[in-house]
Structure 1
Amino acid sequence: MRLLVIGAGDVGSSIAASLSDSHDVVVVDIDRERVDSLTYEYDVLPIHGDGTSLEVLDEAEAREAEVVIASTDSDETNLAISGTIKTISDAFTIARVEKPTYYRTWQRSKGAFGTDFMVCSDLLTAQAIGRLIGLPTARDVDLFAGGTVQMAEFEVPPTSALTDWSIQEADRFDGLTFAAIVRDGEVILPSGEDVFEPADRVVVIGPTDSVRKFGSAVTDGKTIEGSENVVIVGGSSIGEQVAKLLEERDITPRLFEADSDRARSLAEELPSTTVMEHDATDLNFLEREHVAEADLLVATLDSDEKTLLTALVARRVGVERTVAVVEESQYVELFEAVGVDVAVNPRQVTGEEIIRFTRDRRAENVAIIESGAAEVIELEIDTESILIDRPIKEGISDLPDGVIIGAITRGGEFVVPRGDTVIEEGDHVVVFAREAVVDDVLHAM
């Protein structure tokens, strides 16, 4: 398939990196240095120029593209690109936007702005944070099979009783699959003899109850409930969307916003949220408002520096868990290294959603692990699959190394994946696969 990616920033670059091995990818960007740099690492065709220009699109042979992805940092430019493409070809258009207003318009009339599929960075980021709030000890959470299956990543604390357990000893949670251990940046597909070490990140796939029970074991038996006492610092669009999601769950968050006009506007938009106009780095204010008692604090301000400062101040006063929205992807590891529990990058979240949609139309859902080192993919089994009507232990032998079948649902019901489990047509199978074999898995299944 020929893909045209317009915008070579974080989102466009991650899309090109993930798809260039299996598709013909052309990347257009107005910054020559940025687009040329991609060719040193990936097999892509770079085009320098304005993606809204018909001359540049002709140079990129846009009429030959099957999918066009508009991923610049400007909503209006991305919508203009989609509209322009529709004047010259029937390519499937994907546009990235930040503003939920554009997304809501598109939802009301699919195909608006000349866009066939739209992703909203702010809403996707809020949803990712919402999943973390529902499973507060996890570092990452994704839902599969309509919510029947959950993939979660937990970090093993040095004090956890889980330390020194083997996978075999930990195999006591109904239907739970230990898909991977991430250790020092390396993704390990564990065997029964592998032992958990402090600071390991453990990726598990299974029914929601089992994932939650494992999360409790990681924290030495502490009962895990969704966070109820949530503080949001920063009345950004993402902060507003997080508050709306919590209101839908009958949770009453507190939101701190320093700008008086913005605070007044948020108070009108969020009837079940307590909106307060104040600087959240004021220690006296935080103590007066008992912020230390919060289960979780979400920091989403207008700069990464302010966001980091707010999250660290919150940890200092005793907030149990912090989530920070980080605009610059290169700061994610830094935030987590200095004490932020989870750093969420909107561009990374958006890139994953677009990759999910373009990776293979058969893929129902995709989650990316450790910056692309592996993927968790949901597929519906059809008559062409090499797994159909075969026990897993037999069918898995025809798949490449680096693949684990993590979960199966059949008719909406969870099926525990064991070696003698027979895969049937129509089953939804959730697979963990190393990045190098993803394309082979998609082709075989």
Structure 2
Amino acid sequence: MKIIIAGAGEVGFHLAKLLSYESQEITLIDTDKDSLAYADNHLDIRVIKGDATSIAILKESRVESSDLVIAVTASETTNITVCVLAKQLGSKRTIARISNTEFIHHKDEVGFTKFGIDELISPEALAASEIELSLKQSSFNDSYEFENGALMMIGLTLRSSASFVGKTVKQAAKIFPELHFVPIAIQRFGTQFTIIPRGDTEFKRGDHIVFVTSKGGEDELCRLTGKPNRVIKNVMILGGSQIGFKTARSLSEKGFNVKLLEEDKDRAFDIADELPKVLVLHSDGRKVDLLEEENIGDMDAFIAVGKNSETNIMSCLVAKSKGVKKTVALVENMDYFELSHSIGIETLINKKLLAANNIFRYIRKGEVVAMTKLSNMNAELLEFEVKPSSAICNKVIKNVDFPRSAIIGGVIRDGLGVIALGDFKIQAGDRIVVCCLLQSIKGVEKLFR
């Protein structure tokens, strides 16, 4: 695919990096020569210095033959303008990064596609939604919803007390035949290798396992793995950034008791005026004594979304030491993901990764409805819609020539999630959740074209 990215900031560079690994033809546009020089030296892409709203610059980038234009500059207005111009100049699809989430909520009413914008994304809104979901599934490390929870991806680390430690997948299935979950990926303790489990794969203590569950599967996993089913009610948020603000607003509207710490006085007063249900405190939440004064030990969850990744991590570790059940940290450095579970922070949030996941489904072949990359794992979780012409349509799962390094996690039919086993027959209109290692993605895509 020919892809043009406007904006070489953190989101744009990260997207260019991931897409270049997939042998896509990438052109990166920005006015900052230093950002472009760094990208040019580190990535196998084409760079153009200039204003992406310039028609001449867009033509130089060969926009008329592009498959996708992604505008992710810091300016919402610039991104919208770039997409409108690109579509008029011949680009097949456009995606604009925005900060005003009203645009997303009213996109059908306004009709952005009429202007030439096919999709709107807000990394900040995606991060806030991810944080909220992590509190909803507070007993687990990772989580992702398909079709408003018809199927759910959740991750956890196996304790020695878990019922199926030492058993194979096949043995566990015989013991618990009515369960509403299936393992789709395993990372062994102390390794960086991702395993797609088969019937003879053995569960071991310390495994980090990703499951797909249907309704009720989360509660069953809590019981079988010995993890407490936590109830989150009292939440402390460090940082009044856009993410902190959006998270506080959403949680307070849903009945959570929210306390937000913001060190900038003017910002703290502005948030307090806009969020009357949130207790906003003008204080430096990085200081341990202040956290103790604000009764951090009484909190069920601590969310650190300040500007500095290291500060967010350290604040979460302090919260953990004071007995807080659930900790969530916003980080920019992707390398921290490998350390998160070992240092005791349940959930790390990264805007770049969330934006990339949201955009990547437009890169994949077949009718990809949603996708996410698994944290710390060399695998992707994709939701495909089955077309009548798809090779997998009207076939029983056990008869499908499926790659060995991929697995079907579940099927959504008529809005209901099902853990589909070998005898399940796939029909047109089904939405299939598939987990696959990167080397098998092309083979899986062919089945859904």
Distance 1:427 1:104, change over 3 A: closer
- CA-based RMSD of the aligned residues comes to 2.8
Distance 1:38 1:107, change over 3 A: farther
Per-residue deviation, 1:165: 4.1
Give the whole-Å Cα distance in 2 for the aligned partners of 1:261 and 1:17: 37
SS in 1 for 2:194: strand
What does 1:291-310 correspond to in 2, within 5 Å?
A: 291-310=296-315
SS in 2 for 1:12: helix
Is 1:34 the counterpart of 2:30 in the alignment? no
Amino acid at match of 1:164: G
Distance 1:255 1:16, change over 3 A: same
**1:281-304 CA-partner distances (Å, limit 9, x unpaired):** 344443343321322110111222
Is 1:212 the counterpart of 2:219 in the alignment? yes
Is 1:420 the counterpart of 2:427 in the alignment? no
**1:109-141 CA-partner distances (Å, limit 9, x unpaired):** 242985331100110000011111001122221
Structure 1 counterpart of 2:145: 143
Give the whole-Å Cα distance in 2 for the aligned partners of 1:148 and 1:78: 33
Q: Is the 8 A contact 1:185 1:370 kept in 2?
A: no
For residue 384 of structure 2, the aligned residue among 379, 384, 391 is: 379
What does 1:261-410 correspond to in 2, within 5 Å?
A: 261-334=266-339, 337-360=342-365, 362-370=367-375, 373-395=378-400, 398-410=401-413
Amino acid at match of 2:279: T
Give the whole-Å Cα distance in 2 for the aligned partners of 1:407 and 1:117: 27
Amino acid at match of 1:95: A
Give the whole-Å Cα distance in 2 for the aligned partners of 1:97 and 1:236: 15
Amino acid at match of 1:35: A
Give the whole-Å Cα distance in 1 for the aligned partners of 2:232 and 2:346: 15
Amino acid at match of 1:61: R
Give the whole-Å Cα distance in 1 for the aligned partners of 2:272 and 2:207: 41
Q: Is the 8 A contact 2:397 2:424 kept in 1?
A: yes
Structure 2 counterpart of 1:69: 70
SS in 1 for 2:121: strand
Distance 1:19 1:230, change over 3 A: same
Give the whole-Å Cα distance in 2 for the aligned partners of 1:39 and 1:381: 35
Q: Is the 8 A contact 1:300 1:325 kept in 2?
A: yes
* Structure 2 residue runs without a partner (length 5+): none
Distance 1:415 1:284, change over 3 A: closer
Give the whole-Å Cα distance in 2 for the aligned partners of 1:305 and 1:46: 33
Give the whole-Å Cα distance in 2 for the aligned partners of 1:153 and 1:177: 11
Give the whole-Å Cα distance in 2 for the aligned partners of 1:221 and 1:340: 16
Give the whole-Å Cα distance in 1 for the aligned partners of 2:103 and 2:410: 36
* Structure 1 residue runs without a partner (length 5+): none
Q: Is the 8 A contact 2:300 2:325 kept in 1?
A: yes
Q: Is the 8 A contact 1:18 1:372 kept in 2?
A: no
Structure 2 counterpart of 1:93: 94
Per-residue deviation, 1:256: 1.9
Per-residue deviation, 1:80: 4.1
Amino acid at match of 1:201: H
Give the whole-Å Cα distance in 2 for the aligned partners of 1:324 and 1:442: 34
Per-residue deviation, 1:55: 3.5
Per-residue deviation, 1:104: 6.0
Give the whole-Å Cα distance in 2 for the aligned partners of 1:213 and 1:344: 26
Q: Is the 8 A contact 2:68 2:91 kept in 1?
A: no
Aligned residue pair count: 437
For residue 188 of structure 1, the aligned residue among 175, 187, 195 is: 195
Give the whole-Å Cα distance in 2 for the aligned partners of 1:403 and 1:191: 10
Structure 1 counterpart of 2:128: 126
Structure 2 counterpart of 1:434: 437
SS in 2 for 1:147: coil
Per-residue deviation, 1:368: 1.2
Q: Is the 8 A contact 1:135 1:212 kept in 2?
A: no
Structure 1 counterpart of 2:49: 49
Distance 1:361 1:253, change over 3 A: farther
Distance 1:296 1:162, change over 3 A: farther
**1:147-166 CA-partner distances (Å, limit 9, x unpaired):** 21111111234665654343
Distance 1:71 1:199, change over 3 A: farther
Q: Is the 8 A contact 1:154 1:215 kept in 2?
A: no
**1:251-305 CA-partner distances (Å, limit 9, x unpaired):** 2222222223222222222232222222223444433433213221101112223
Give the whole-Å Cα distance in 2 for the aligned partners of 1:441 and 1:9: 32
Structure 1 counterpart of 2:241: 236
Amino acid at match of 1:48: I
SS in 2 for 1:5: strand
Amino acid at match of 2:82: I
SS in 2 for 1:123: helix
Give the whole-Å Cα distance in 1 for the aligned partners of 2:118 and 2:5: 15
SS in 1 for 2:133: helix
SS in 2 for 1:268: helix
Give the whole-Å Cα distance in 2 for the aligned partners of 1:90 and 1:48: 17
**1:213-250 CA-partner distances (Å, limit 9, x unpaired):** 214433x152x244222211111110111112213322
Distance 1:157 1:299, change over 3 A: farther
Distance 1:104 1:427, change over 3 A: closer
For residue 207 of structure 2, the aligned residue among 200, 207, 216 is: 200
TM-score (ref. length: structure 2): 0.87
Amino acid at match of 1:34: Y
Quick one: percent identity of the two aligned structures? Answer: 27
